[in-house]
Amino acid sequence: MTLNKISKIQPELFEFTGANLLKAKKEIDKYPKSRKASAVLALLYLVQNQNNNWIPLAAIKYVAGQLNMPYIKVYEVATFYSMFNLSPVGKYYVQVCTTTPCMIRGAKKITDICKKNISQNQNELSENKLCSWTEVECLGACVNAPMMQINQDFFEDLDEKKTEEIIQSLLKDKFPEPGSAKNRKNNAPEKGKTSLLEVKNA
């Protein structure tokens, strides 16, 4: 996203709702008074939940004020962790894993489908504003590569056809069934269990 676009979408002010202020105080109280900064991740997470899954600059300044931290220190934390979004994301936020195991198994085709159907660039909203997508590092489901995370759910063992179906469904404001596109249970072999047959939920 260009600097011009980013500055247009930034709200001038941010503050916690009453309920979130209470939650923030609880987090801060977990630490000694001289170590308030330890609550920075928890407060940024609260901001993101309150603000449609992204953190504006005004909120980074607000959190710095709550924790008596220099603004730049909070900014460093917010920009370091990829789970914090610093620009608006869609109602359906698609994170495509492009680390080596997923890449070898076809992640590039998945990002191409995102480019074609959602937006040409990462971190931009689709035309109907429902979706956005980004590339991320390993999400810990390499054995089900290639995969992507949409909001809180994993979609695994993807191919082009399945990915296209999922994205089209999101664009129609329908959340598809998460899990393996090959109907594997977790990371069991594709043709069913081969060991621990006597153990029910293994």
Chain residues binding ligand FES by CB under 6 A are: 97, 99, 101-102, 138-142, 145, 147
Q: Based on CB atoms, which residue is closest to ligand FES, 130 or 142?
A: 142
The answer to whether the beta carbons of residues 96 and 110 sit under 8 Å apart is yes
- The amino acid present at 55, given as its one-letter code, is I
Tell me the β-bridge partners of 133. Answer: 94
Token pair recorded at residue 108: 């590039």
Q: Based on CB atoms, which residue is closest to ligand FES, 127 or 190?
A: 190
CB of 99 to ligand FES, least distance (A): 4
Q: Based on CB atoms, which residue is closest to ligand FES, 142 or 171?
A: 142
71-80 vs 57-66: helix axis angle to the nearest 10? 120
The answer to whether the beta carbons of residues 104 and 145 sit under 8 Å apart is yes
CB of 140 to ligand FES, least distance (A): 6
CB of 105 to ligand FES, least distance (A): 8
CB of 141 to ligand FES, least distance (A): 4
CA-based end-to-end distance of the chain? 45
Q: Based on CB atoms, which residue is closest to ligand FES, 44 or 141?
A: 141
